[in-house]
Chains A and B, each alone.
Chain A
Amino acid sequence: AQSVSQHNHHVILSEAASLELGCNYSYGGTVNLFWYVQYPGQHLQLLLKYFSGDPLVKGIKGFEAEFIKSKFSFNLRKPSVQWSDTAEYFCAVNRGGGADGLTFGKGTHLIIQP
């Protein structure tokens, strides 16, 4: 069974700082990779996803992630964070495409200080 590891449970940054959230997965086969965000009081929503092709994927709100197959990693990045990026971020994987259940990491709580 696959598993997902997020390295940081809590991250505190100042506005305009650069962000990188780590995500590693364990599964030897082909996977699809996702980052979800949950803003306070809101639903989980998709930030970006990787199925195949260019390993550098761009998502909404200026986020991007890079799939490095050799490292089993899919780290999330943003060059300059804003206060509104304060949220919980979840990395997730599945094997069968969008209609397959997701395996989530434990999440990273990101706090951006003004």
Chain B
Amino acid sequence: GAVVSQHPSRVICKSGTSVKIECRSLDFQATTMFWYRQFPKQSLMLMATSNEGSKATYEQGVEKDKFLINHASLTLSTLTVTSAHPEDSSFYICSAFHGFDEKLFFGSGTQLSVL
């Protein structure tokens, strides 16, 4: 089946630094990718929809200047958490839409810990 690779799987950073998370569709082209955030024992919350070649669409309450999303190619979307703070610590998951199968494929997630 289709594979979505998310990297890194785990990152620890100091408060105030920026962290970039990559999401790649390995064997298909994804015009649309999604970024989710999951707190412990909570559901996945949609943060933004990333469309190749255009600006991301952010959900209400998500700061677009803090969570920068770039979808520069049909196989890569990146999420940059800028000036990270401890409250940004969370599990971030990307997914890519496979248009032919009409399915979403998920990455394995990134656990971000901000000290």
Residues on A lying within 8 angstroms of B by beta carbon are 4, 9, 36, 42-46, 90, 97-99, 101-107
A8 to B42 alpha-carbon distance, docked (Å) = 13
B residues in contact with A102, CB < 8 Å: 34, 44, 46, 95, 104
Residue total for B at the interface (Cβ-Cβ under 8 A): 25
Picked from B31, B43, B49, the residue with its CB within 8 Å of the CB of A104 is B43
* CA gap between A98 and B2 in the complex, in Å: 15
Determine the distance from Cα of A57 to Cα of B4 in the docked complex, in whole angstroms: 26
> Could you tell me if A99 and B99 are in contact, using CB atoms closer than 8 angstroms?
yes
Contact of B34 among A36, A101, A106 (CB under 8 A): A101
Q: List the 6 closest A-B pairs by CB distance, nearest first.
A: A44-B106, A98-B102, A104-B43, A101-B46, A106-B43, A104-B44
- The reply to whether the CB of B108 lies closer than 8 angstroms to some CB of chain A is yes
Instruction: Give the nearest-CB partner of A1 in chain B.
Output: B60
Q: Is the CB of B34 within 8 A of A44?
A: no
Set of chain B residues within 8 Å of A101, measured between Cβ atoms: 34, 46, 49, 59
Does the CB pair B104–A98 fall under 8 Å? yes
Not counting A43-B109, A90-B43, A90-B44, a sample of 20 additional A-B residue pairs whose C-beta atoms are within 8 angstroms of each other reads: A4-B43, A36-B106, A43-B4, A43-B106, A43-B108, A44-B93, A44-B106, A46-B104, A97-B102, A98-B99, A98-B104, A99-B99, A101-B34, A101-B49, A101-B59, A102-B95, A104-B36, A104-B44, A106-B43, A107-B43
Task: Please indicate the chain A residues that have their CB under 8 angstroms from the CB of B97 in the complex.
Answer: 98-99
B33: min CB distance to chain A, Å: 10
* A36 cross-chain contacts in B, Cβ below 8 A: 106
Do B106 and A105 touch (CB < 8 A)?
no
Q: Is B103 an interface residue (CB 8 A)?
A: yes
In the complex, the answer to whether A106 meets B42 with C-beta atoms within 8 Å is yes
Counting CB contacts under 8 A, is B75 at the interface? no
CB contacts (< 8 Å) of A45 on chain B: these are 106
Beta-carbon contact of A43 and B43 below 8 Å: no
- Judge whether B32 is part of the interface by a CB distance below 8 angstroms: yes
Q: Once the chains are docked, how many angstroms separate the CA of A101 from the CA of B104?
A: 10
Which interface residue of B42, B46, B49, B104 has the most chain A CB atoms within 10 A?
A: B104
